Amino acid sequence: MTTQTKAQTPADPRDEIVTYLPALRAFARGLTGNVTSADDLVQDTVLKAWSKFDQFHEGTNLRAWLFTILRNTFLSQQRKRAKEVADSSGSFAAKLASKPDHDGRLALQELNEALKTLPVEQREALLLVGALGFSIEEAAETCGCAPGTIKSRANRGRKALAEILHLEKGEQLDSTDSSVTAVMAASPTIF
Amino acid sequence: MTTMSGTDDNESNGIAPAVAQQIDENLKRLYSDATSEDLPPSLTELLNALREKDAQEKSGDK
């Protein structure tokens, strides 16, 4: 069936964790909306992954396994915080909706802020599939749901973003022209 | 049996495919910095500490 080159197989999958850290950080930023919280979340993820590596089945998808740990850690932190913090996402959305802008960096900033207003299940679907290039199947494995569920969550998320950012009314989320590239280069970090 | 879900595809008709594509492209752009940044020292130090701890435990077992 499959031919595996055993000589090239890493001795320990733990050594591969570092490969996925940049994408894990990006996913964590998208979920938390905050660089510091994101790095804390990635640290917690690494610690958890390390402590339960005996539960990881070699030859299965390490990336999806790590992303699942990060996601579950985030969701459990969020459940704890939900008891303490009132939700302010509604006012966020209203503020964004009243302020369309053509500047590219602002457009990306608005996209980032708009993303934060989405329900977490739509946000994670968009982050995995849209931002990080996961296949629908791998995103489904990561989130523990059916591929069709990921697909519809991503679609609902895109639709919500389009509404918040006025994209359906002919506005361009224009961050691809040269002026925007220049702005992005000068100020690379949105977070 | 079809593997492509017509129902799910219909749901994306809520917005124009070009708009959906535009959103995905900008999401990629938004997170491209995060995926290409150097790792913070705290993370690499954590990994090194975990590896060292494992190595010490292994050598202690022997």
State yes or no: pLDDT of B9 exceeds 80: no
pLDDT digits (tens, 9 = 90+) for A119-159: 999 999 999 999 999 999 999 999 999 999 999 999 999 99
pLDDT digits (tens, 9 = 90+) for A1-59: 444 444 555 568 888 999 999 999 999 999 999 899 999 999 999 999 999 998 998 88
- For residue A137, the tally of other CB atoms under 10 A from its CB is 13
Residue of B nearest to A130 (CA): B24
With the C-alpha atoms ordered B48, B51, B55, B57, is the resulting torsion angle positive or negative? positive
List chain B residues with CB under 8 Å of A151: 5, 8, 11-12
Rounded distance between C-alpha atoms, residue A122 and residue A63, angstroms: 20
CB–CB contact B33 A188 (8 Å) = yes
Checking ipTM against 0.85, whether it exceeds it is no
State yes or no: pLDDT of A170 exceeds 50: yes
- Phi/psi for A39 (5° steps) reads -70, -35
Q: Give Cα A90 distance to the centre of its chain.
A: 21
Say which of B5, B30, B46 has its CB closest to residue A131: B30
Residue of A nearest to B49 (CA): A47
What separation in angstroms does the CA of A188 have from each of A109, A185, B29? Answer: 11, 5, 10
Mean pLDDT within A100-127? 84
CB A142 within 8 A of CB A67: yes
Neighbour-count burial of A142, counting CB atoms closer than 10 A to its CB (0-12 exposed, 13-18 middle, 19+ buried):
buried
What separation in angstroms does the CA of B35 have from each of A20, A75, A108, A113? Answer: 9, 22, 16, 19
Residue of A nearest to B40 (CA): A39
pLDDT digits (tens, 9 = 90+) for A64-94: 999 999 999 999 998 888 777 654 444 444 4
CB–CB contact A43 B43 (8 Å) = yes
CB–CB contact B8 A148 (8 Å) = yes
Q: Is A42's Cβ below 8 Å from some Cβ in B?
A: yes
Rounded distance between C-alpha atoms, residue A8 and residue A4, angstroms: 9
Please tell me what DSSP assigns to residue A102: -
Domains of chain A: 14-85 (1.10.1740.10), 87-185 (1.10.10.10)
- For residue B51, give how far its alpha carbon lies from the nearest alpha carbon of chain A (Å): 9
Residue of B nearest to A48 (CA): B50
List chain B residues with CB under 8 Å of A67: none
Neighbour-count burial of A92, counting CB atoms closer than 10 A to its CB (0-12 exposed, 13-18 middle, 19+ buried):
middle
Q: What is the pTM of this model?
A: 0.76
List chain A residues with CB under 8 Å of B19: 158, 162, 167-168
Residue of B nearest to A104 (CA): B26
Q: What share of chain A is helix, strand, coil (3-state, %, to 5)?
A: 70, 0, 30
Segment 151-190 of chain A within 8 Å of chain B by CB: 151-152, 155-156, 158-159, 161-162, 167-168, 172-173, 175-176, 184, 188-190
Rounded distance between C-alpha atoms, residue A53 and residue A13, angstroms: 9
